[in-house]
Amino acid sequence: MPSPRRVRTFIMMAICILVVILITSNHYRQIQKQDTRTLGDFYQKTKNAIDKGRHVGGGSGRQKPMAKDKGGEPVNDGDEEDDAVARALASRLKLAEQKAKDSANAKGPNKPDAPEAIIGVGSSASGQGKKSNEVQKGKAVDEDAEVEGEINTILKKSPVVIFSKSYCPYSKKAKNILLDQYLIQPTPHVVELDQHPLGKRIQDRLAVMTGRKTVPNVMVYGISIGGGDDIAALDAEKKLGEKIMEIGGKRVDVKERSIKHAG
């Protein structure tokens, strides 16, 4: 008969073996249950898909067109739902950003006018008009200064200046009297306005300065003594040389030539 000690040892070993068997069986059942569930899910999904295809296609093998919403987008799709959510979120963010910009512009101290309202209306248009007027005024001032500067330069060339036009018969008459019938020192300076780059503007400026709009315009030290008929009248009265020296003084010498040419 075995000793009590051995009996206890056998009992302990039996208990250990039983515990190991129980643990192993339980673990195996858990694994089998998980695999069975996974396979079952796959089988059920596959069966549902096949049944759905048969129901829709009627066994012809054709696939039912995907259902679409009012906007033409497919429905019942997880990815499409995610895209729709993303688009909605982006739209809200864009709307919030635009509202923030509008609020900032409304609070700004120098709010610009709308582009369609700029022409003739609003602060922007007013500023542009003011700037344009200033530019035009500045340009006009520069042009006036240029003409006046050119006239002053011309008047310094000689005490007697004849503003003429090459094709004008009255200018020809005045030049014939002053240059051919008189000996004037320094020699009169002739400006043909039709050939001068600033001729028209010079003539307009002379009209303001002397009150004479036409040519010729004969000037002695910046003082107009008349046009063609005036010069002819002074010559006929023997007062032309006297008139020139009266204005020019000792700075100009005028002598009548002994032989006069026909005009």
Mean pLDDT estimate for the chain? 77
> What are the pLDDT digits (tens) for 142-152?
888 999 999 99
Q: Which domain holds residue 230?
A: 146-256
Query: Is residue 235 in a domain?
Result: yes
Contacts of 128 (CB under 8 A, 6+ apart): 118
Query: Is residue 73 in a domain?
Result: no
Q: Average pLDDT, stretch 45-63?
A: 56
Is pTM beyond 0.85? Reply is no
Answer for the pair 215, 168: CB distance below 8 angstroms, yes or no: yes
Q: Picking from 58-67, 77-86, 176-185, 197-206, which range would have the lowest pLDDT averaged per residue? A: 58-67
Residue 118 has pLDDT above 70, yes or no: no
How many domains is the chain partitioned into structurally?
1
Which CATH number covers residue 159? 3.40.30.10
Cis peptide before 74 (omega within 30 of 0): no
Q: Where are the alpha helices (DSSP H) in 58-121?
A: 78-107
Query: Is residue 34 in a domain?
Result: no
Tell me the three state secondary structure of residue 232. Answer: helix
Q: In whole angstroms, what is the distance from residue 54 CA to residue 48 CA?
A: 10
User: What is the strand order of the sheet 160-164 is part of?
Assistant: 189-192, 160-164, 217-220, 223-226
Q: In whole angstroms, what is the distance from residue 124 CA to residue 131 CA?
A: 11
Residue 61 has pLDDT above 80, yes or no: no
- pLDDT computed for residue 30 by the predictor: 64
DSSP 167-213: T-HHHHHHHIIIIIIEEEESPPEEEETTTSTTHHHHHHHHHHHHS--
- pLDDT computed for residue 99 by the predictor: 73
- pLDDT computed for residue 183 by the predictor: 95
Residue, of 185 and 140, whose pLDDT is higher: 185
Task: With cut-offs at 50, 70 and 90, classify the pLDDT of residue 259.
Answer: low
Instruction: Using alpha carbons, select from 174, 151, 187 the residue that is nearest to residue 234.
Output: 174
Query: Is residue 84 in a domain?
Result: no
Q: In whole angstroms, what is the distance from residue 156 CA to residue 138 CA?
A: 27
> What are the pLDDT digits (tens) for 165-210?
999 999 999 999 999 999 999 999 999 999 999 999 999 999 999 9
Query: Is residue 262 in a domain?
Result: no
Provide the residue count of the chain. Answer: 263
Query: Is residue 206 in a domain?
Result: yes
- pLDDT computed for residue 13 by the predictor: 83
Query: Is residue 141 in a domain?
Result: no
> What are the pLDDT digits (tens) for 199-255?
999 999 999 999 999 999 999 999 999 999 999 999 999 999 999 999 998 899 999
Residue 49 has pLDDT above 90, yes or no: no
Query: Is residue 17 in a domain?
Result: no
